[in-house]
Amino acid sequence: MNTDLVDAPDLDDDDFRNRRAEERIPARFEVRFAQTKDAAKALRAYSLNISAGGLCLRTQKAYDVGSPVSVEMLIDGEAFQLQGVVAWVRDEEEAIGVRFTDVSEGDRLRLQRVVQNIKR
């Protein structure tokens, strides 16, 4: 598994928080990979945190930085099917960071609303 970070190989968690456009909120929910081959290999994937711009997932499947992913998730009664790219990988934690790509304005607004509801 590639443990590089996109554009920032030596940053700690505080640096990542400062680089994000959206605040990540701790949240645990199941995430399914939309592609059958990924779903079979991932076994289980659970979020650790989320924002309107991306999320952190715990998964047993190895991903490389830059890998495209399609995820499906149900958060606070709202269903999402989103495309993303793996922004970073932490092998020791079996965690990956996913940055959402090509998010429609409607999905972005729904994500922001859901994240604010979780934050309360």
Tell me the pLDDT tens digit for each residue of 30-43.
Answer: 998 877 666 565 55
Q: What is the pLDDT of residue 42?
A: 57
What is the per-residue pLDDT across 64-108, written as a single tens digit (0 to 9) for each? 999 999 999 999 899 999 999 999 999 888 999 999 999 999 999
- 88: containing domain: 13-119
The pLDDT assigned to 61 comes to: 83
In a domain, 70, yes or no: yes
**What are phi and psi for residue 3, nearest 5 degrees?**
-100, 15
Average pLDDT, the chain: 81
Residue 6 lies in a domain: no
Give the whole-angstrom CA distance, residue 11 versus residue 84. 21
Q: Is residue 90 part of a domain?
A: yes
pTM, entire model: 0.77
Q: Is residue 100 assigned to a domain?
A: yes
- Give the rounded percent of residues in the chain with a pLDDT score beyond 90: 56
Q: How far apart are CA 70 and CA 48, in angstroms?
A: 17
The type of residue at 108 is R
> Do 118 and 77 form a contact (C-beta atoms < 8 A)?
no
20 found inside a domain: yes
Give yes or no for a contact between 25 and 115, defined as CB atoms under 8 angstroms apart.
yes
User: Residue 19 — pLDDT band, cuts 50, 70, 90?
Assistant: low
Query: What's 81's domain CATH number?
Result: 2.40.10.220
User: In 2-109, which ranges are E strands?
Assistant: 25-26, 31-33, 45-50, 54-59, 68-75, 78-90, 95-101
**Total structural domains within the chain:** 1
